[in-house]
Amino acid sequence: MTVGLDRAAAPRRTLRHRLADRGIDRTLWLVLPATAFVLVLFVYPFIYGLELSFQPLEGGGAFANYKEFFSDPYLRDTIWKTMRLALPAAVFNVAASVPVAYAMRGRVRGKRTITTLLVIPITLGTVLTAQGLIMYAGPRGWLNRTLTGLHLIDQPVVLVHNYTGVFLSLVITGFPFAFLLTLSYLSGIDPALEKAAATLGAGSWQRFRKITLPLLAPGLAITFTLAFVLAFSVFPSAQMVGKPTGATRVISIAAYDAAFQKFDYSMGSTIAMIMAVIMLIVIALVMVWRATLYRGATGGKG
């Protein structure tokens, strides 16, 4: 090899090498289809929706839809109604999953069976849950018959076609997800830590309160976020076991009505954008709170 040849090849090769040093080479083409896909079918529709929301059907300036949404109590209150359902449901699902998952950590007899049983409600789907709630918890259902039969109540309890119905449905469909996540975060915590605490004389409550819970908290923040996403977009159950014109007229119903019942795509997109903003605010708040928590190498999964 001569010196001249080397020099001629040098600049091109260096550029390529310099790029390769930064991690840019031909392998990166592999990520292109997925990126293009997400850009075309997720980012572009989002931007399109945002743009559409500033082009109201009946004119009145770019912000007419937003003004209408926040001035019409029928629309504005959907935010409050959704929050009133989604926040307690998410909090309940996460809070209830902690003791169950805590009892399931480590080696428990029949762990897999119990996990499967607790996860099975995922398969019920909203329609069967709704039908089941109407039949079982309805005025003539087994629940009310049993309760009146035992003389615990005189009048059937009204559990469906109201707030309670949707809440129950959200718990049935949401709990398995929260439980799975909590259990997996909990199994990520090194059991040796708890043992060490026990060696130092900590009781079981102290071990939970001082060792496990602080390590679990970051994972719980993620679990809460996902449980909230799930509950926040409640749509079919609010229609079926709720009161879609009253107490459970949630924001997704309002968005759907606007877009596909009134064919006002602009208003539909506006409401969808408002939903996304609320969602992102909640996620951001949880993440800010989460950032204050301990996230060590041991356990603090997620």
The distance from CA 281 to its chain's CA centroid, rounded to whole angstroms, is 13
Instruction: In angstroms, give the least distance from the CB of 268 to another protein.
Output: 5
Burial of 143 (0-12, 13-18, 19+ CB in 10 A): middle
Binding mask 55-94 for another protein (x = CB under 8 A): ----------------------------------------
- Contact region for another protein (CB under 8 A) — 42-50, 54-62, 66-74, 87-95? 42-50
CA–CA separation, 139 and 142 (whole Å):
9
| Beta carbons of 254 and 112 less than 8 angstroms apart | no
- Contact region for another protein (CB under 8 A) — 5-13, 56-64, 70-78, 234-242? 234-242
Binding mask 8-37 for another protein (x = CB under 8 A): --------------xxx-xxx-xx-xxx-x
The one-character DSSP state at 286 is H
Instruction: In angstroms, give the least distance from the CB of 222 to another protein.
Output: 6
Residue indicated by tokens 């409550």: 205
Instruction: In angstroms, give the least distance from the CB of 59 to another protein.
Output: 19
Neighbours of 160 (CB within 10 A): 23
Classified as helix, coil or strand, 32 is: helix
| Beta carbons of 121 and 115 less than 8 angstroms apart | no
> Backbone phi, then psi, for 201, in 5-degree steps?
95, 15
10 or 276: CB nearest another protein:
276
Burial of 168 (0-12, 13-18, 19+ CB in 10 A): buried
| Beta carbons of 164 and 237 less than 8 angstroms apart | no
Binding mask 180-209 for another protein (x = CB under 8 A): xx-xxx-xx--xx-xx--------x-----
- Contact region for another protein (CB under 8 A) — 5-13, 58-66, 67-75, 255-263? 255-263
Instruction: In angstroms, give the least distance from the CB of 5 to another protein.
Output: 24
> Which of 54, 63, 88, 265 contacts another protein by CB under 8 A?
265
User: Interface with another protein includes 135 (CB under 8 A)?
Assistant: yes
Binding mask 109-128 for another protein (x = CB under 8 A): x-xx--xxxxxxxxxxxxxx
